[in-house]
Structure formats: C-alpha cells, structure tokens
Structure 1
Amino acid sequence: MNQSILVRQRLAVAALFILIFTALSIRNKEQFSFIATNETARIIGENESKSRRDIIWTAKGPATYAEVDRNVFCPNNFKIVEYNYPIPKLDFIHRPSCAKTFDDWLAIANGNIPESPPKVIEARYKDAFLLNGYTELYQTYYNDKAKPHSVVWNNIESLMTVTKPVVGYGQEGLAVYYALKDYPVVNMTGFVIGSQSPWIEVLALQSGAAKVLTVEYQETEIVGTKKIEYIHPIEFAKEWSKRNESYDFSISFSSIEHSGLGRYGDPIDPFGDLKEVQKVLCLLKQGGLFYLGIPRGKDALFYNAHRIYGRMRLAMMMTGFQWLATYRGNNARAVTVTEEDYKKVSHKQDLYVLKKI
C-alpha cells in the first residue's frame, strides 16, 4: 500500500515538472518571438527610412540619388561622394582651374547683352537651366537692369552707431546677423556679392571686419568710410589673379540666385550661380568662410526672377566647401535642416555658413 502511494507521488511530481517545463518553453518561445519580431521591424523600418532618404522629389517625380547622379550631377561635372541626408555631398569630376573659371565667366560677360532681359528661356538653354528636366519651371519677369547713374551710400557712419541690427529683407536678413555672431570676422578682409544697400557691409564691420569690398553691377559711391570699397563685377573678375586666395570671407544674401538670368543686366548663363560660387572658391583663402543666403525649397526656376535651391542644386553649390551651419530668419541659433524643407517650392531664404576645403 505504501509502495503504491509512493509511485503515485512520484508520478505527480514528474507530471508537475513536465507542466512547468512546458510552460517555461512556451514563455521563452513567445519572448524570443517578440524579440525577433521587434528586430525584424527595426531592420525593415531602417531600410524603409534609407529608401525614403534615397529619394529626391523632382520635376520628373521621385528620383533616387543614383538617378540624379547619373542624369543631373555627372553631366555637369559633379559626382556624389557621400550619400548624406538630406543633401548629398559632391565633388568635381574634374576640378576647374581658376584661370578657366574666370576666363569662361568673362567670355560670357563680355558677350552680347540684350537691351532688355529675355522674357523666355531660349530652347538651346532649356535643358541646362532645368537640369535636364529635373527642375520645376515657373514664368515670371523683371527688368532691374542697372541704371547708368551711380548710387551714393552716405549713411554708413550713422548705421554703424545703431544698437539694433540693421538688416535687409525683413526678418530673413537677421540670419546674417546671427551667423556673424557665431562665426565672427574679426580683423578679416572680405567681399560682398550683390548689394543694393550697405546693410551686410555694416554687419561685417560691426562683427570686426577690417575691410569689405562690395561687388555690384550698379555703380556705387561710398562716402564716410575707407573700410568699404566698391568694384564692378567685370573689373573684379579681370583682376582675379591678383586677388586669388586673398580674402578671409565672402557674404552674399539674396543675390547669387539671380546670376545668369539677365534680370539685373547680367549675361544669360544657365550656370551663372554655380560659376559665382566657383569664383568665390578661387578668391577665398584656405579655410575662408562663405556666408551664402539663397532661397530654399524644392528645386525650381522662376524665370527670370530667381532660382530655388533644393537637394540637387544646393549640393552643387556647396561643392568644394564644408557645410558648417545653417541660419534662418530670427532664430538666434543655427537650425537643423530636414527633408521637409526641400519638398515644396518656397521663397524663404536660408543662410549657409560654408568653409573652403
């Protein structure tokens, strides 16, 4: 009798062990399955994110980096070297010499310039202007050709004494002020590209600049200071060899996006903006700073008003530079750009602080 009880007890213990083991096995399996499911989801999510990042929204619809590299960058002497997001990093396929850069620019600048800016793009220039169809085109028109008489800047001394920052373009111009606070130009010599009033020159002097040269099509007379001088763009280009790698900084805000469109009496050149930037590369010292203010958004051309810089053309503009920071309007600190900034056509200006490499 006692032996029978003992057998039953042993069977009960064995059954209990089997039950516990089965429960633990199921729990572990579920736990492993949960971990595996989460890991799979994470990998899928990363791949989907990478896939989305590899897409640029263009006038032709979504295009991969590889497609844009093949059809936009490479035909224009650029290539992707880093698949950065949201702006790919490019390099020149063949880096243009400074002599070629300025000779090519002068050849176009000294060509026939029509009395009035053309209202439509000539067929022979269309692919170049629109990056082989990947850039949106909108029609608009201005004739702001420089007047034959000079303008006079005689308010610089008074502007220098104003305690609040004096800027152009409303709050958007504050980006220059804040960029110069974080990246000052103390005891430096630089030049400003395109300037209808001396607000950028004054901000540079207030930041500590030793001397500033204004490069502008409109003849400008400067009164009251020897720290600011004026030169016409063509004369500036002719003297490039004397000025090669001699400047510490350059600033341009809402100017270069117009280059080559004829609006201001400049020669028609689909790559006028890119050539301006390549000229800056030649004129800056190694490590020199370039404060570049241009409209951000989906790549577009408002002919003949201005260009909008998206993930394609902006990448081309930054070639040869290290991207240090981006400033936007009245934000006192640098901002982080996102893909959303380049999905829609916009006229808002961003200021990119770039360093020559």
Structure 2
Amino acid sequence: MAGRRTGGRRSTIHDVAAEAGISRGTVSRVLNNEPYVSETARKAVQEAVAKVGYVRNAAARNLVTQRSRAIALIIHEPHSLVLDDPNIGNILIGTNAVLSGADYQLVTLMIDSQRDSDRVVEYLRGGFVDGAIVLSARTGDPISAAIAELRLPASMVGHPSDAPDIPYIGIDNKAAAEAIVTRLRETGRTRIGMLASGLDRDSGLDRLAGFTAALGDAFDPDLVVRHPFYSYAAGAEGMEQLLAREPSIDGLFAASDAVAAGAMDVLQRRGVRVPDDIGVIGFDDSSWALRCTPALSTVHQPAESLGREAAQQVLDQLAGADFERSLILPTQITWRASA
C-alpha cells in the first residue's frame, strides 16, 4: 500500500503525504503546528502519521535551525553525594519544570573527576546543547572557562569569583549564616564552633564569613573544622575533631543540614544532649533537618526556585530578551528544637 514503511526503512514526510493524499507542504504545516490548515487536512495527516509510523527526525531539524532544544544541567559534585543532597533534587525539579514548559529537553551531566570535566567541556564544544546551568561551580573550574569562551547562554547557581561575566542565581549565604549564628549566640552559647564545608566555592566561603562576622571578637579559628564536601561523613568526622579540641563546646554551626545530621549522631553516641549541652544549627532546610532528633534549626533556601530562575535566565538569553544577570533570592531562618 502506498506510503507504508517496508524493510525497516524509516518513514519520511513524503510517505505521510502519499498516505494522506495531500501535499508535502500541507503535511509540513500540520507537523509544525502552523495555522491556515483545515481540520480535515490536519486529521488526515495525523492518521497517516500513525499508519506509516512516521517519527520526526530531530537531528535533521536541528541542522536547519542550529538549535538542539536541549539545556545541560551540570552538577559538579561527587557521584556519592548527588542522590543524598535534597537541594540538587529540588533544583533539578524546578529547572525541568520551566524547560519542559518551553519545550526544551533537560540533559544532566555529572562531574566527579578531571576526566568527567574534560568530557563535559568537549560535549559543550560539540554544540549538543543550546545552553547550560551549572551547580556547585568551583573557582578555577574549566567548565566556567569553556562557557565563557563559547559564549554559551548559561546560568550558574552560585557565583564563583573568577566567573563574573556569567549570569547567576543565588542566595546571600553570608547574611543568612550571620543571622542564624547571631540567634544561636542569643541563646547564651559562648563556645561556638563550625563545621565548614565547600570552601572551594562561594557558598562555603560565604557561610564561613557569616559565622566569623556573627562571633566577632569571640571567633576562635581553632573551633573551625574544614571539609571539602557538604556530607553526613563530614559532619561525623568533624564533630569528633571538634570535641577533641574543645570538650566544652556549647554551640555548633554546620555548613549544611547533612553535615549537622552527622554531627548530631556523634553527639548522641557521646551522650552530649542537644540542645541542653550544645545548640546545633544547620543550613538548607532540607529533608535532613527533619530526620534529626531533635529537629534541626536551619536556614531555608528556596532550592526549587533557584532551579526555576536559572532555567528562565537561560531561556531569556536564547530568546534575546532582557533579563537580570544576577539574582539573589531571599532566605529565612527556620527555628526548631535543636537550638
């Protein structure tokens, strides 16, 4: 029968036109959802598409439009931490919601090694995506350099100091950390330590800066334990170190809720009561905060909104629309029983 696919050959628009008994131009207008097509013709094309098994060749269309209709979400975190970080999941949900609504495909790329980084740089150079959203970019990150060189529409969640020309979305980590540590001090704590993580990126550095500012003259650098990652393990290991340095510590600021959860488990095993003996605060207001016993006082950051705004920032660049090159979203303190 005319137009029916045979021998594994991929059906073409010509097959659809032959099956429907109308011109190729009309078929094209229907497939592109253009106006000025009768309902009779539209129905005939839809039936012919189903009958011959026609599937649009996105690769061919992309060659013509020079667009892939795909946006990369680049996650610069160890694979072992990605699934345990609720913020990443919520950012991904917000990003996908906006891109899906604009008929763009989200492509997730994870970086856990130099090899991953090199591979992603070459992927970006290959033109496989129209834009990129970068999470957890570090200072000196080759991804940022590649985006700048390619002039790729992009948004960073966070703001590395050496990528000033790339648009970004973020929160005021310093002010938020200073506010919650100040509130912890107001509960009467005098020996407050910090488990500082992510100091190779702006979020970690700014949270440490906020902690330092809140303590003022009471700041003791010996009560700061540093770790590369925002992880439960960082909290557990760091709390052991802090207790060894200062057994009488009565306050703790953990740089993330996951870090706080690890620290609180150590305190519980040691018989140190929270909040009676030590007040504990975290950062993120993630699901980790509610897993803690008692529930964790923390800073709420709008992770899903960060993803939405980052995606919109990239779409605005692609459309040539005006947009905010830097956007800081509000945070709030969520005060619970741990402090």
- TM-score calculated relative to the size of structure 1: 0.30
Rg larger for: 1
Which has a greater percent of helix? 2
Which has a greater percent of strand? 1
- TM-score calculated relative to the size of structure 2: 0.32
